[in-house]
Structure formats: structure tokens, C-alpha cells
Amino acid sequence: MDNALGQPQTIVLLGGTSDIGLAIVRELLSPATRAIVLACRDTSKGERAAGELRSDSVVVEVVPFDAADPSSHAALVEGIGGRYGDIDVVILAAGLLGNADVTTVDVAAATELATVNFTGSVSVTVAAANLLRAQGHGAIVILSSVAGERVRAANPVYGGTKAGLDGFAQGLGDLVAADGVHVLVVRPGFVRSAMTAGLKPAPLSTTPEHVARLTVKGLRAGRRTVWAPGALRYVFSALRHVPAPIWRRLPLG
């Protein structure tokens, strides 16, 4: 359980090799932290990340997690809860960006992206929410994206999955608040990370560390949403209302 300063003792990262997710974990680390679970598909890479987090006072476990296999999610979360008891923060950072040139024409590629980014994300989040609701406290951090605020033609499958995930997370947050569970939706813009390596940075691009600082600040303030960087809130409040014929011609790439 979080201590009197709101510092978590047990942290679970779903998508345990995510640059942003790991940055949030590091930002949350405090003398109160006792255990971290990195749930990921590539457990070898997860072990390398775990080695940087382990200390004499912090246990770090790496467990297999496949976002594309929803049938395994309930058992995964229940197993973590059984080993560690109360979980204070669950971070959902699993996701694929995909290649829009492929996902807009290849049915299998589009389905894989949708399964990981939406179906699997909903599945594992519901499993986590069940655990936190039963214990009566805890927080879920869901990494959404500004791409879901108004889906662009440049990458409609990715943007569509993030729009769906964002909406789900907001509704779930309203539902579980009465049970003592806080859901925070994080909407980063372009983040310079392994996922975006080789892509041209968009305006207002940021880093995993900056997203992490804003996330933890928002978590401790009890906010429902965080934009990273914050200026994107105002940018998209305007873009949301641009007429479709103009929107289609904007160079948003």
C-alpha cells in the first residue's frame, strides 16, 4: 500500500520493456518501493531492464506477458497479486506503433495491431482493475496517445486503437473510483524512444523521462488525464474542431 507520502511499495509494468513505462517506474521509485514486476513478451530484454532497477531493498521480477493473448491475462494478474499481496500502481505500456503503409492494407497486420493495442489492453486492464477493486485501493496508469484524439489518415489503425483505449480508460476510471481505484490516462505526443526510432520527430516531441515526470506529478495530484507535453492539450482542443475538408489537408503526417 502507498505510504503516507503517496509512494508505492509494489509497481507492476505491463509492457515491461517500454521506454516510457520504465521511465515512469524509475520516477516512482522511492525508499518505500519493495517490489517491481516487469511483465513483457521479450523476457531477456526484460531481465536487462530489471538489472538496472534491482537493489538490496527492491525485488524485481520479470514475467512473460503477451498482450495478444487475452486468455492468459486474468491468471497473470492473479498470480502477481498472489505473490505480492497489495499492488499499488499498475502501468499499461504495452503497444505497437505499426507501419501504416502495411496496416491500412494488410488485414493480418491490422488485426494484430488492434488486438495488442485495444483488445489485449482492455483485457489486462480489466483483470488489473478487478484486483485493485478487491483490495480497495491502487492506481492504473494507461498510456494512450494524442493520435487517438482525432484519428489521422496517416495512421488510422494505430490512432483508432488509441481512441478506443482512451475512451475505455476514461469510462473505467469513472466506474472504479467508487472502489478506491484511480485511473490516469496519459496522452503523449511524439516521444523519442525505441518505438519511434528512424521516424522524423513531430513538433513538440518529447522524451520518456519528461512523460514520466508529468505522469507521476499527475498521479500524485489525482488527475484523470495528463498531456505530454502539456501544450498539446491546447493544440488538440483546436484541432478537434477543424472542419473535415481542412483537416484532411493539414500536414500532420
Q: Which residues are catalytic?
A: 158
DSSP 173-197: HHHHGGGTEEEEEEEE-SB-SGGGT
At 226 the three-state DSSP class reads strand
160 and 198 Cβ atoms separated by less than 8 Å = no
Question: Cell triple for residue 242?
Answer: 477543424
Render the burial of 69-105: b for 16+ CB within 10 Å, e for the rest.
bbebbbebbeebbeebebbbbbbbbbbbbbebeebbe
Helices of type H across 177-252? 208-221, 232-239, 244-247
d(CA 165, CA 44): 28
Segment (H or E) for 62: strand 59-64
Helices of type H across 71-193? 73-84, 100-103, 107-114, 120-135, 156-176
Query: What is the Cα Rg of the chain in Å?
Result: 18
- Sign for the CA dihedral angle at 122, 127, 133, 137 comes to negative
